[in-house]
Chain A
């Protein structure tokens, strides 16, 4: 088993955080993982992205030429990655701010209005965690508990209230998706 995912969005939407926590969760579940962020001369307001590989064998290349999952939090990400997704792969789409729909055929599309859901919960900054709730449910790689534990480790020493609102956000995304 080898699953490669790309998380992409505006700088500041928390895309690197999503990938980091996902990779950490997969590691604590016992999988091999690699996490590779895009680095360097990125521009303010441009896209940030990271690639996470999860496998039950040694991971050779951390790069995903055909990702199984793409999480697009903004429109440029959709344009950039829709044609790279593997056949039968899945695109997670932040339908709160992405108004177009993929032209690419032969993939599953999961629309999550994570921006609006985060507003409703009380903080627009947790929209990435809402998305991850849906992502973890769909991928089924590990349980919400493991994700929340990893989030706690990664955020290290943040206030209890921050963890709590993230838990609510995660479960909202998790329950939003009917599988």
Chain B
């Protein structure tokens, strides 16, 4: 498998530099599955940083590939809309037959009101309360790992930990917690034979099951005094208590995917990165206080969401290109986070980098990741506990990656603990 994937990377690299620029189309899920997208973005940053692709399975789209232009688009929500009815926040347009309204895919002022209901749960005071629970759960998971035998890091650590965390945030029945993982995966998958779900009908049926399950929890919580879990907050929040069932489902999916996939893949990505840069791990092992910079560095290096999409609502000129109202605009965080103009040696993981927090993985502006501090805290705790145990973890094979231009993640990664 290793072999094939290296061939795919080399073939993609050759194509990236030989394809006529006008035909270059980086939004190809197979490229991301093969981890072969890098050369496409390297060329675009050099030769055509704001690039128009006329035709693709996602229709025509602009690619914004360098750090500064991404910052300019991300902070200009008046021109670059996130509205779901215009297509939403990922390159694949939101389906009109199964709309999932969520605040990430709204514009101010409704966005602002709904976001403010959710943000207290990830405010510093609440994080401090959660920290001990997360640490205990991380300890239990790490202590239960087998020694000297092969296991899947994604399943045993990354998924398990983030899923337990989500169950805690929602006060979700603990024994059913893997349903959260399933719903998160189903929400972002594309139905097809051999896929996670075979048909779009099956996908929607599973999401309706998710909605039904949460509706029960909502009904329990709305009739009880307010508590600090997310469902209770939504059920009692002034701007959210009258949400339609579709809006409720949309915001739930947002919180499940937002709190699940991203942290999960950064947990795997960190270990994978250390296997590529073992001297960096040794540096961290000798100086655990470097975790303060190592954690944001891992999040930059991984970039768990490869892009965010906007739709222009008025004509605008940017970098000499004329973007028209209605155009689909893709901010490739995965590219901006490797922009050599802003980040020195961007392809390397450097645990003591000078300004590690200046990266695009959380986005900037009004849509900046609401849970960014929670994500950092979870990652920090896991690495603190790994360092305390001085686990010597060997990555045995290249991980299997997700077939998506949006979720930049891992399906599995076999590892072994040597000590």
Asked if A and B bind, the verdict is: no
Q: CB within 8 Å of B: which residues of A?
A: none
Give me the interface of B with A, judged by CB distance under 8 Å.
none
